[in-house]
Amino acid sequence: MIVGYARVSTQDQNLQLQIDALQNAGCFEIFEEKITGMKKDRPELNEMLKMLRAGDRVVVYKLDRISRSTKHLIELAELFEEKEVEFVSVQDNIDTSTAMGRFFFRIMASIAELERDIISDRTRAGLSAARSRGRKGGRPKIAQKKIELALKMYHSKQYSIREIVIASGVSQATIYRELNNV
């Protein structure tokens, strides 16, 4: 059986490009996930790995869609080899059913990890440069007076949460978080 795995990092991103490519590769079943690749526990990936049998073929759009690191990619490759499962990466032109495919797979895994590390280093450097110019980043803090107003309104029991949110400008989540801290 040919199975596919498609993943994007955030709920806002779209899986359709990957799904189209996996369908074109003949995937019978496609496991879809909207979760960061840095998370070790990915339910759909785990479900796919459990159901694989000898002779199956796993297809992904790109290597970075299935793995967190070179180490993880190599672990997956070893698992596939142990289960006698072929692995194909459409965009990277990798097919582990060949010796050259297995070799190229390991080289590309190293390059993919290097690329991710470089992006991470650039991001950290950019954040550091912004901090040195006085920029803090992140969400702006809510004025304590607004939070106090929201809590007073809540405790008065005269307003709904929706009314409190509109009047104070404090989100529902922040109101409940502050109530739990009291």
- At 164 the pLDDT is 93
Res. 18 pLDDT band, cuts 50 70 90: very high
User: Mean pLDDT for the chain?
Assistant: 88
Question: Residue 112 pLDDT more than 80?
Answer: no
Task: List active site positions.
Answer: 9
| Of the candidates 94, 58, 62, 95, the residue with the CA atom closest to the CA atom of residue 79 | 58
**pLDDT tens per residue across span 119-158:** 889 999 998 998 899 887 777 788 899 999 999 999 999 9
- At 49 the pLDDT is 95
- At 1 the pLDDT is 94
Helix axes 144-156, 172-181, angle to 10 degrees: 80
Residues in Cβ contact with 163 at an 8 Å cutoff, skipping those fewer than 6 apart: 153
0.75 exceeded by the pTM?
Answer: no
- 122: Cα within 13 Å, side-chain hemisphere: 6
Question: Residue 31 pLDDT more than 80?
Answer: yes
Q: For a pLDDT cut of 70, what percent of the chain falls above it?
A: 98
CATH architecture designation of domain 2-128: 3-Layer(aba) Sandwich (3.40)
